[in-house]
Amino acid sequence: MSEFEPRDFPHSALRIGDMAPNFTARSTAGNVELSAYRGRWLILFSHPADFTPVCTTEFVALAREAAEFDRRECALMALSVDSLFAHFAWLRLIKDRFDLEVRFPVVEDPTLVIGHAYGMVSAQDSDSATVRTTYFIDPDGVIRAMTCYPANVGRSVPEMLRILDALKAVDKEGALAPANWAIGDPLLSQPTVEIDDIFSASDATSWFLKEHGKDAQP
Interacting residues with ligand BEZ (CB under 6 A): 48-49, 52-55, 129, 151-152
Q: Which of residues 112 and 201 has its CB atom nearest to ligand BEZ in the complex?
A: 112
Q: Are 155 and 58 in contact (CB under 8 A)?
A: yes
Concatenating the DSSP letter of every residue in 80-94 gives ESS-HHHHHHHHHHH
The CA distance from 68 to 153, in Å, is 23
Q: How far is the CB of 150 from ligand BEZ (least distance, A)?
A: 9
Which residue, 20 or 55, is less far from ligand BEZ as judged by CB?
55
Alpha helices in the chain (DSSP H): 53-64, 66-71, 84-98, 113-118, 157-173, 195-200
Q: How far is the CB of 74 from ligand BEZ (least distance, A)?
A: 23
**Catalytic-labelled residue, pool 54, 55, 107, 137:** 55
Least separation in angstroms between CB 51 and ligand BEZ:
9
Which of residues 150 and 174 has its CB atom nearest to ligand BEZ in the complex? 150
**Whether 148 is catalytic:** no
In the sheet that holds 74-80, the strands lie side by side as 106-108, 74-80, 41-46, 132-137, 143-149
| Least distance between ligand BEZ and beta carbon 197 (Å) | 51
Query: Of 54 and 75, which has the nearer Cβ to ligand BEZ?
Result: 54
Collapsing DSSP states into helix, strand and coil, what is residue 149? Answer: strand
Instruction: Show which residues are catalytic.
Output: 55
